[in-house]
Amino acid sequence: MDRTIAYASIRTGCKDNKDYSHLTQTRTYKEIHSHFQSMFFDVVEEKNFSIDGYDKNATLYVDVLLYGSDKHIKLDAIIHDAISSNEKIGILVTNINSFGNASQIKSYYHIFQQHNIYVLCPDYNRLNGLSEYSTCDYSFAPLPAVQIAKVMQRIDSLSDNDLKENRGRTPSDYTDSFQAAYWLYESYQIPEKIAVAMSGHLKTAFHYKAANYELSGDFAVGLQRFAPPNIASIPKRYGKLPLKFHEIATLIDAKQQPVESIMDEICIDLHVPSIHPVNFMRFKLREELAGQSILKQYNNPDHYFIKKFKEYMDDGGDPTCFWNIYCHEIPQK
């Protein structure tokens, strides 16, 4: 790309174009700024911010949409700049809703396609971390033409109702302690009570966070760091079946292709979050073993770990800190 920018829009109930130079000091703007920074984007704010201003040297642009107005002044200026300079531009957004309603999004995407403007929209519900509306990857390299054509097909069929579901999951704080607890629990090595204590949450919150973790980009990293090598052959221990699981399984069986290569496309077509291939196999195994005593069959307690955890707790230790201490030891089982 010749230029990469981050873009967002804010709606306001104000009807007049007042002086909004103070906007950069508001909580909403700071959250937008912080979010793009958390994605390792080099944020440069506009100098002397105003609703209708346009600073070519900035990398972060925020449109303020006045009451009753759908004018994306800064986005239009970016497009005009791209057309006049013939630059190839990459736009990072947190959600395509930033471009307006379904009709506006369609219009903008067709303009983008005509003038070498590409959209990077993260979605951690997908294995590749990209929303189905992205036209470039995390390096801002345009996706292959065949993939962009599929994106445009989705855009052309977009409705306002679809936008309600377009809320790409954002990263969360999954500590090493939480991840270790999750994988030890899911591989039947520790009881639920210890996993919950290590997580620092109550039981319900632990399982809620675990469900979000399974949909996050951190899951694949944790799989390599904490999971036992045979985890794919161990049935899922906890959690409801993912949405439309049986439909997904039927389509995967019919396609007879590697799960990891088709999971995103299948789940996008079904309008559900993607399932990591390892979890897909584990859920499928749990379904096949329905009615059997899975816990008894796969129970594999790590007695040394459980013993050390109990000793640590008896000494008044903080359970959320146990893993950081334990992981530096060489367990003698």
- Choice among 6-15, 165-174, 232-241, 298-307 with the minimum mean pLDDT: 165-174
- Taking residues 255-284, report their average pLDDT: 93
Which of the four pLDDT bands, split at 50, 70 and 90, describes residue 51?
Answer: confident
Write down the pLDDT at residue 234.
Answer: 96
- Taking residues 71-81, report their average pLDDT: 94
Write down the pLDDT at residue 164.
Answer: 62
Write down the pLDDT at residue 169.
Answer: 47
Whether residue 292 is predicted with pLDDT greater than 90 in this model: the reply is: no
Write down the pLDDT at residue 171.
Answer: 52
Helix/strand/coil (H/E/C) assignment for every residue in the chain: CCEEEEEEEEECCCCCCCCCHHHHHCHHHHHHHHHHHHCCCCCCCCCCCCCCCCCCCCCEEEEEECCCCCCCHHHHHHHHHHHHHCCCEEEECCCHHHHCCHHHHHHHHHHHHHCCEEEECECCCCCCCECCCCCECCCCCECCHHHHHHHHHHHHCCCHHHHCCCCCCCCCCCCHHHHHHHHHHHCCCCCHHHHHHHHCCCHHHHHHHHHHHCCCCHHHHHHHHHCCCCHHHCCCCCCCCCCCHHHHHHHHHHHCCCHHHHHHHHHHHHCCCCCCHHHHHHHHHHHHCCCCCHHHHHCCCCHHHHHHHHHHHHCCCCHHHHHHHHCCCCCCC
Which of the four pLDDT bands, split at 50, 70 and 90, describes residue 52?
Answer: confident
Write down the pLDDT at residue 167.
Answer: 42
Whether residue 310 is predicted with pLDDT greater than 80 in this model: the reply is: yes
Within 8 A by CB and 6+ apart from 238, the residues are 185, 186, 192, 207, 210
- Taking residues 59-73, report their average pLDDT: 88
Write down the pLDDT at residue 186.
Answer: 97
Whether residue 126 is predicted with pLDDT greater than 70 in this model: the reply is: yes
- Choice among 164-168, 283-287, 312-316 with the minimum mean pLDDT: 164-168
Report how far Cα 90 is from the mean position of its chain's Cα atoms.
19
Write down the pLDDT at residue 320.
Answer: 95
More confident residue, 50 or 101: 101
Write down the pLDDT at residue 172.
Answer: 65
Write down the pLDDT at residue 88.
Answer: 94
- Choice among 10-24, 39-53, 91-105, 129-143 with the minimum mean pLDDT: 10-24
Percent of all residues in the chain with a pLDDT value above 70, rounded to a whole number: 93
More confident residue, 18 or 64: 64
Record the pTM: 0.78
pLDDT tens-digit map of 215-233: 888 899 999 999 999 999 9
Write down the pLDDT at residue 286.
Answer: 95
Write down the pLDDT at residue 19.
Answer: 61
Which of the four pLDDT bands, split at 50, 70 and 90, describes residue 8?
Answer: very high
Write down the pLDDT at residue 332.
Answer: 47
Whether residue 124 is predicted with pLDDT greater than 90 in this model: the reply is: no
Write down the pLDDT at residue 330.
Answer: 54
